[in-house]
Structure 1
Amino acid sequence: MVTRIGAQDRDLQQLLCDYVPQVFRRADFRRWCAWGQWNDDYHAFALMEAGRVVANASVMRMRLVLEGQEVTAYQLGAVGCVPSHRGRGLSRVVMSAALDACGDAPVLLFANPTVRQFYPRFGFQPQRQTLFAAAYDAVPEGPPAPTLSLDDAEVRAGLVALSREGLPSTERFGARGYATAASWPVANGFARPLRQLGSEAWVFAGVEGDTLYLDDVFAREPFDLRAWLPRLIDRPIRAIRFGFTPERYWPGAVEAGEDTEADLFVRDLRLSPEAHRFPIMAHT
């Protein structure tokens, strides 16, 4: 029997926290839960045995933005089975339960390369994700943009507000209201720093070599991103890489190949025929 775990099920949440690192070696849910990020948009569908989670598929309700239109959809994550119980069809059981909860709504997920053959059995189709880049020379100038920490509850609340009420970073294939998804890689130490560009715009960004990686933008109103770049860098740069489709903030960006690490699968979801990249901070 599949157990549904929600925001109020604190004891069961701890069991899921025990399950996650057994299946995903570098992942942990404990800090994310401690930050209060498990809300009513997120549910886990778990199989229990002897007081522990042995298989799971989680569902996060998403406010997708497709060609400027908002669509309610769901994103799956934390799908898997502990090593000792693999080969018994348990992942299929929890996947079926999770998809039943999604009803007829569109569903998406990001898979790792080892399970590419699994999701088409449930009606999912692979979708190409495109990398975007721009050649741009800049040097540091002015006071550095402040770095914000999600350890601070006020910062977490601010990110929630900007994500819920502000502009999506892309209208082509993006989302609104996904601050709790964005906080997960931060809680696990995977994310680039969160930087403040004035009071109404925050970005996840960092420099590697001579390239600025701009992973996502949370802003209430459009703003001049180029004017802020000298304050986002600590060394000269010659290029920018975007973690989203940058048609709003850098319309001159070019396609820089396929994102071979994304492995996006969709079900009942028709995407733009134009090149696109779902914001990486919105992945679950």
Structure 2
Amino acid sequence: MGGVIDALTTTIGSQDAELQAAFCDYVPQVFRRASFRQWCAWGEWNDDYRAFALVESGRVVANASVMRMRLLLEGREVTGYQLGAVGCLPSHRGRGLARVVMNAALDACGDAPVLLFANPKVRQFYPRFGFQPQMQTLFAATYDAVPEGPPAPTLNLDDAEVRAGLAALSSEGLPSTERFGARGYATVASWPVANGFARPLRQLGTEAWVFAGVEGETLYLDDVFAREPFDLRAWIPRLIDRPIRSIRFGFTPERYWPDAMVAGEDTEADLFVRNLRVSQEAHRFPVMAHT
């Protein structure tokens, strides 16, 4: 029976419009707040993203997706993969279907490094496939600042030119971190924007964009996309609309804020890695690079 199910695993790629629609129907049935419809409408599903699905009567009933990533490990770029949208329709659980699609996805990854971020409720599932948990660190800085100067403009990814600009900065510019990060992940970063989960994208000059927002007395800097090094501190007054006392970083800020403090462990999503040895120093994979 297992061999028959394996044979029915379908790969959904960037050109498979009908199967993409079935995938978009599947996602909110498993992940209640998630959607891929706007992301697909923007044309963000490219050849880096493949969904390995079990399709039954035109419906996707189980899936494991693979995003090809240009990972950075201590400054060295390697090709790796990040898994996402792993699950099974509630009506089809208990039949081993998630195992089937996971095996298909991992077969496609070969011996390359693989990572995924998982809901803590399923942390027992992924070690069965050779994944190991990897701690992620929170970084923060005490920093008093008040608004000053014209606010940094907000950019809208509904605009195709803005999406193209983000893609160029992500692919060709400086990564926000080289300790454990990535390049060229604009289509990953656009997904939380399409779902309304992301903080605003702000423009700092012509060649530096950041995802950032203020909550309470804290500025949250989720990610930085820049062509060249720049003085991030000089822009803080233009990123805030009220006085702040601290900054939280969604990435390892060794480039932009080297004296940032370790502020505990990131417990919002569990990171699992396979065939991947990460830095022994404290690190946080950029939150905008999570699938």
Q: TM-score, normalised by structure 1?
A: 1.00
1:64 aligns with 2:71: yes
Give runs of aligned pairs for residues 155-194 of structure 1, distance below 5 A.
155-194=162-201
Answer yes or no: is the 8 Å Cα contact 2:120–2:269 preserved in 1: no
- The yes-or-no answer on 1:36 pairing with 2:43 is yes
Q: Give yes or no for the alignment of 1:120 onto 2:120.
A: no
Which residue matches 2:146?
Answer: 139
Residue pair 1:192, 1:206 contacting (<8 A) in 2 also: yes
Q: Residue 200 of structure 1 aligns to which amino acid in structure 2? A: E
**What secondary structure does 2:237 align onto?**
helix
**Structure 1 runs of 4+ off > 6 angstroms?**
none
Q: Counterpart of 1:271 in structure 2: which amino acid?
A: V
- Aligned to 1:163, the other structure's residue is in SS state helix
SS at match of 1:246: coil
Match of 1:272 in 2: 279
Letter aligned with residue 213 of structure 1: Y
For residues 182-223 of structure 1, give each alpha carbon's deviation from its aligned partner in whole angstroms, at most 9, with x where no partner exists.
000000000000000000000000000000000000001000
1:109 counterpart residue number: 116
Contact in 1 for aligned 2:155/2:201 (Cα 8 Å): yes
SS in 2 for 1:88: coil
Give the corresponding residue for 1:55.
62
Q: For residue 281 of structure 1, report the CA deviation from its aligned partner.
A: 0.1
What percentage of residue pairs aligned between the two structures are identical? 86
- Which amino acid in 2 is paired with 1:73? G
Matches for 1:4-43 after TM superposition, within 5 Å: 4-43=11-50
SS at match of 1:159: helix
Asked if the contact 1:129/1:262 (under 8 Å) is kept, the reply is no
Please tell me the residue identity of whatever aligns with 1:103: G
Structure 1 residue 261: Cα displacement:
1.1
Alpha-carbon displacement from aligned partner over 1:9-30 (angstroms, at most 9, x marks no partner)? 0110000000000000000000
2:227 maps to which residue? 220
Distance 1:85 1:113 in 2: 21
Contact 2:65 2:86 in 1 (8 A): yes
Question: Residue type matched to 1:259 in 2?
Answer: D
Match of 1:283 among 260, 266, 290: 290
Counterparts of 1:260 and 1:157, CA distance in 2: 32
Q: With the length of structure 2 as denominator, give the TM-score of the two structures.
A: 0.97
SS at match of 2:211: strand
Unaligned runs of 5+ in 1: none
Give the CA deviation at 1:262: 2.3
State how far apart, in whole Å, the 2-side matches of 1:87 and 1:37 are. 33
Structure 2 unaligned segments of length 5 or more: list them: 1-7
Which residue does 2:155 correspond to in 1?
A: 148
